[in-house]
Amino acid sequence: MQKQAIFQSKLLPYALVAPQLAIVLIFFYWPALQAMIQSFLLQDAFGLSTSFVWFENYIELFKEPAYFEAILRTFFFSFAIAVSSLSFALLLAVMADKPLRGSMLYRTLLIWPYAVAPPVVGVLWIFMLHPSLGVLSRYLRALGIDWNPLLDGDQAAALIILAAAWKQISYNFLFFLAGLQSIPRSVIEAAAIDGARPMRRFWTVIFPLLSPTIFFLLVVNIVYAFFDTFGIIDTMTRGGPGKSTETLVYKVYTDGLLGGNLGSSAAQSVILMIMVIVLTGIQFRFVERKVTY
């Protein structure tokens, strides 16, 4: 697609693109390239000499059980966060889509957590479920649960998943509501005339029509779980106890922070880059379909 009416100038367009181009080259492409190069290099213990080692950093990485576990954990977290947040948000959106009194108020009261930063989410949830002073921990203990997410890895993981899913409810709700409102009323009425009860109407008519939104949100939620959970994990568990809440991004951060293995940290970055490219690719393929839909 091109404009017919344009300006003639040789230098001006370059000058207009220059600011963003400079930032992109200096702060995006150059570091990304550095990471790629670094991932093929091995530095000796004193940082005096480096040698080109092909894929050794990658091979070492995949031999490391901790890395493998981090991959599985990240995927599990993503899946758990996406499913729990999406299903709860869909329930709320279906309810809010009904012609109810005060539906605008409901929308306002449900969308604001989008604005809460991940580290704040972490602080709110660790406070609520802190083993010694958490308000909800009292009730959990009263139920006979030995609640201590600071010591128990599974409980820590559950806490991260809950907190991350909580934050994402508002986002999913908003997109589900928009999706529901774009379904023509006549389609639902037709189903009603055919005698379909509300539950049946939902599963046979509304849910299939909503599938593009669901798929879009699934990808967005996975990307969110991969990257934006960093702040939640960092304020709540710091990847612990042990390594039970260490995701791929968190591992790149801690491995690089300890300054140990630059090559390995770079290789991890490159693998993450590939994952982002795949996820974004899926997202864009889907967006095209949504347009033709």
Partner 1 sequence: MVEEEGFRRYIAHIILWIGIAIVAFPVYLAFVASTQDNAVIANGQMSLLPGGHFFQTYYQTIFVGTSGSTREPVGNMMLNSLVMALLIALGKIAVSIISAYAIVYFRFPFRMALFWLIFITLMLPVEVRIYPTYKIVADLHMLDSYAGLSLPLIASATATLLFRQFFMTVPDELLEASRIDGAGPFRFFWDTLLPLSRTNMAALFVILFILGWNQYLWPLLITTRDDMQTIQIGIRKMITTTDALTEWPIVMATAVLAMLPPVFVVVAMQKLFVRGLVETEK
Positions 60 through 89 that interact with partner 1 (CB under 8 A): 88
CB of 201 to partner 1, least distance (A): 8
Chain centroid, CA 177 distance in Å = 20
Q: Is 10 in the site for partner 1 (CB under 8 A)?
A: yes
Q: Are 229 and 125 in contact (CB under 8 A)?
A: no
d(CA 239, CA 212): 34
Tell me which stretch binds partner 1 (CB under 8 A): 9-17, 45-53, 67-75, 207-215. 9-17
CA distances from 81 to 87, 167, 217 (A): 10, 10, 12
How large is the greatest C-alpha to C-alpha distance in the chain, in angstroms? Answer: 79
Q: What whole-number distance in Å separates Cα of residue 142 and Cα of residue 219?
A: 39
Q: Which span (46-54, 59-67, 75-83, 225-233) binds partner 1, by CB under 8 A?
A: 225-233
Site string for partner 1, 124-163 (x = CB under 8 A): xxxxx-x-xxxx-xx-------------------------
| Residues in 226-245 that interact with partner 1 by CB under 8 A | 227, 230-231, 234-235
Shortest Å, Cβ 90 to partner 1: 11
Distant-in-sequence, close-in-space partners of 122: CB < 8 Å, separation ≥ 6:
163, 231, 232, 233, 234, 235, 236
One of 144, 154, 185, 293 touching partner 1 (CB under 8 A): 185
Per-residue contact string for residues 205-224; x = within reach of partner 1 by CB under 8 A: -----------x---x----
Count residues contacting partner 1 (CB under 8 A)? 99
Q: Is residue 195 classed as helix, strand or coil in its secondary structure? A: coil
- Distance separating alpha carbons of residues 129 and 147, to the nearest angstrom: 9
* Cβ closest to partner 1, residue 7 vs residue 52: 7
Nearer to partner 1 (CB atom), residue 156 or residue 262 = 262
Place of tokens 């950093």: 57
The distance from CA 126 to its chain's CA centroid, rounded to whole angstroms, is 20
Task: Answer for the pair 227, 233: CB distance below 8 angstroms, yes or no.
Answer: no
Report if residue 197 touches partner 1, rule: CB under 8 A. Answer: no
Contact region with partner 1 (CB under 8 A), list: 8-16, 42-50, 79-87, 151-159: 8-16
- Which listed residue (161, 169, 225, 267) binds partner 1 by CB under 8 A? 169
